[in-house]
Structure 1
């Protein structure tokens, strides 16, 4: 047993577990051909001794850094930030670390420079969060040299993909409003260069058409509450549409505020539904009906897929995470005059 001043080593773990040090190494590296009882004994010995693997030595032995690079666009918004946190948490639980680069509006770092920065840190794989179509086009021109996963709604011939099912989430929102009796719904979209915003917009039109709802032009926003607030404040009289589906919760919150200041009631005059389920959504007045994205499951799936690619194992087939509708007080039956 190691004294308090000593760090326990792999041979002490092996001795306590009654196995060879090579078996301990295989357990640490998630080797598939280890009996479950043996794995359990090794893990219990690791916990009892407080053993922590030497990551530098492991990297030299395996030719892997156990580091995942994450490139995040629009990091100021809830969805991309939550995805980054979820990937970091899942990576840490799997013995990996994350290096990230955030592309912010107004900064002059290019996708090429961001990728170069991450590759220079010796990452084993690259994950791209909240991509725009322009950044995907740029990424296709870059010889990355490691597995690349893009968090995007559709499968891709070049990259691995994982996503929360954006089409299913949009369908949940539209079906919820239709079930309440709405037949005229406005969509406040996000910037259509963003792949998630484009998928939500297309899915909205497809679902609205399948229900035979009134067709009307969408409003394209910029993800911010300020844009939605200004839009709502600009409505001169009670609109013909009875509900608004906003592409994210920030814009939905701005709508509720702007409609209130304009003298309209939510949901009595206009129902509002958002997307994401930000922590604030349940505290606004009225509490916001929204589509919840399971970012924890998304992060776990991202890391599972990348680990499989890095370690040359079979890639998991479940790469779309189901969303959930959270019905609150911002949505109700349409006003009687509009039925």
Structure 2
């Protein structure tokens, strides 16, 4: 740092501020210091900095699995957001509900400054004892004063999808059209695992979207395409619209409907949730609710870093969704 300070013509304290991302450095000076760092090949030494500051600039990520697309997308988003703030990432995958305490203990032993808990793992974290000295942010969880909380607005997205299907009408009531010229009398729901907060919120949004209509039984899946395929075989023959709680189950549903001789969107219209990268490549391309994984990951990291660095982190950040309309809900005029 002394060499960098001499090369840039500044004090060692100024170099330290640049290295630690302090806003108390004017842009010209910051640029001069960063240029000197590159020219001299300077790299901050994490272990030395940890001894000085008491922080390792490392955060943990606790997941139940990385097999689901949503968790994989969140891993990438959190990794990118952490790196942009100078933090390294340590990932711990849980082997089951009893492993969460051990996961936190391992992260504590590795000296992480804080941890982000993703999706299904949050239900385990709420029952676990958190080691002192670790700030925790959970993604998708009901209110809990012990944690910072960040979540997608699942319910509003699900409600929008359901209302979109119910609002569809044909000009002139064809024989397959429901009451008041509507395409569908009701929308069926292919829900996620009962213990999942995200699945529960999407189901809640679906019920809100139905309004005064009676809700049919929920077809339950486990986020996988194979469970969506099985649900297609249980879908009543008079069902004409399905909102699936994620895109992977919707993908399996599309194949199951095809194998059952039912056309999408002509016989059954389908909407998914997430807008994974391949959603536009399905046959037919899938109408879905877009979840902004990048914004969710960035907000989770920002909330955690604010806690780590001494600020009072805001809790309850809600990331908006949007409906992306594609061919799985586009019916030809006249049915």
- Name the structure 1 match of 2:4: 13
CA distance in 2: counterparts of 1:134 and 1:126, whole angstroms: 15
Per-residue deviation at 1:300? Answer: 1.4
- How many angstroms does 1:11 deviate by? 2.5
C-alpha distance in 2, partners of 1:43/1:322? 36
* Number of the residue aligned with 2:176: none
Choose the corresponding residue for 1:327, options 319, 325, 328.
Answer: 325
The 2-side partners of 1:202 and 1:192 are apart by 12
Quote the residue 1:198 is aligned against.
200
**Counterpart of 1:243?**
241
Match of 2:134 among 114, 124, 146: 146
Aligned to 2:148: 160
- Residue 33 (structure 1) shift: 2.9
Give yes or no for the alignment of 1:122 onto 2:87: no
After superposition, where does 1:20-39 map in structure 2 within 5 Å? 20-39=11-30
Q: What secondary structure, in the 3-state scheme, does the structure 1 residue paired with 2:243 have?
A: strand
Determine the C-alpha separation between the residues in 2 that align with 1:293 and 1:97: 25
Output the aligned Cα RMSD: 2.3
Partner of 2:172: none
- TM-score for both structures, normalised by structure 2: 0.88
Q: 1:46 aligns with which of 37, 56, 69?
A: 37
| Per-residue deviation, residues 116-175 of structure 1 (Å, max 9, x unmatched) | 111111110011001356414322x34443111000154322210112221222133223
Normalized against structure 1, the TM-score is what?
Answer: 0.87
CA change 1:188–1:127 in 2 (3 A) is same
Residue 53 of structure 1 deviates from its aligned partner by 1.4
Q: Mean Cα displacement is larger for which, 278-287 or 250-259?
A: 278-287
Residue 231 of structure 1: aligned partner:
231
Judge conservation of contact 1:169–1:324 (CA < 8 Å) in 2: yes
- Cα distance, 1:49–1:292 mapped onto 2, change above 3 Å: farther
Which residue in 2 is equivalent to 1:264?
262
Instruction: Tell me, in whole angstroms, the C-alpha distance in 1 between the residues paired with 2:44 and 2:115.
Output: 24
Judged with a 3 Å threshold, the aligned counterparts in structure 2 of structure 1 residues 45 and 168 are, in CA distance, closer, same or farther, namely: farther
Q: CA deviation at 1:34?
A: 2.9
Distance change in 2, residues 1:48/1:175 (3 Å): farther
How many angstroms apart in 2 are the aligned matches of 1:46 and 1:302? 30
Which residue does the alignment assign to 2:64? 73
Distance change in 2, residues 1:314/1:143 (3 Å): closer
Select between 221-230 and 42-51 the one with higher mean Cα deviation.
42-51
Q: CA 1:335–1:243 in 2, change beyond 3 Å: closer, same or farther?
A: farther
Q: Is the 8 A contact 1:153 1:199 kept in 2?
A: no
Name stretches of at least 5 consecutive residues in structure 1 with no aligned partner.
1-9
- Look up the SS of the partner of 1:191 in the other structure: coil
Cα separation, 2, equivalents of 1:293 and 1:321: 8
Task: Structure 2 unaligned segments of length 5 or more: list them.
Answer: 170-183
Separation in 1 of the partners of 2:252 and 2:152? Answer: 24
CA contact (8 A) 2:154 2:198 kept: yes
Q: Deviations over 1:71-99 (max 9, x none)?
A: 10132111112112211121112111111
Q: 1:318 to 1:198 in 2, by over 3 A?
A: closer
